[in-house]
Amino acid sequence: MKNFLIALLSVGALISGAAVAEIENPGGIGGLESLRGASELETTRAADDFKKFPREQVLDSSFVYQPPLIPHNIRSYEVSLNANKCLACHSWKNAKEMGATKISVTHYVNREDAVLADVSPRRYFCLQCHVPQANAKPLVENEYKSVDALK
């Protein structure tokens, strides 16, 4: 019986604590802010504007083996099981005609190191590794130094 009363009192304390938290923080954001700022959980905030991508920008690599960054907008590009807009320009077949960079030969090798006639299924979804890069303000403070800065 004693254990039951202790458990009952503990539950009561939790409930009253939750009530106090709701009174002190109506809206329930817990006093925390996300990278998008403070907003109530129940409200929907308008999305930020899309970043601008300068045309023909040159993007240097920051570290060894970094997948190349995409120097253009990819807003309406479809990369799905049935279509890959990236390959329309960057495949070995089309790159020269389109004036685009050819995809790496490593993208034509499967996990058994066999060379394939087409892009390996594990390298087909380009946006898993390659991302567009805009000149955008960092969301959080960053002290990263590129490999050139370490010389």
Question: What is the structure's pLDDT at 149?
Answer: 73
User: What's 63's DSSP letter?
Assistant: S
Residue with tokens 């006639």: 117
Q: CATH number of the domain at 50-150, please?
A: 1.10.1130.10
What does the domain layout of the chain look like in residue ranges?
Answer: 1-47, 50-150
0.75 exceeded by pTM: no
Kindly report the three-state secondary structure assignment for every residue of 71-113.
CCCCCCCCECCCCECCHHHHCCCCHHHHCCCCCCHHHHECCCC
Question: What is the structure's pLDDT at 31?
Answer: 58
Question: What is the structure's pLDDT at 112?
Answer: 94
Question: What is the structure's pLDDT at 132?
Answer: 84
- List average pLDDT for each run of 10 residues in the chain, which is 151 residues long: 56 51 55 66 72 70 82 87 93 92 92 93 92 78 77 69
Question: What is the structure's pLDDT at 56?
Answer: 65
**By the 8 A CB rule, do 72 and 63 touch?**
no
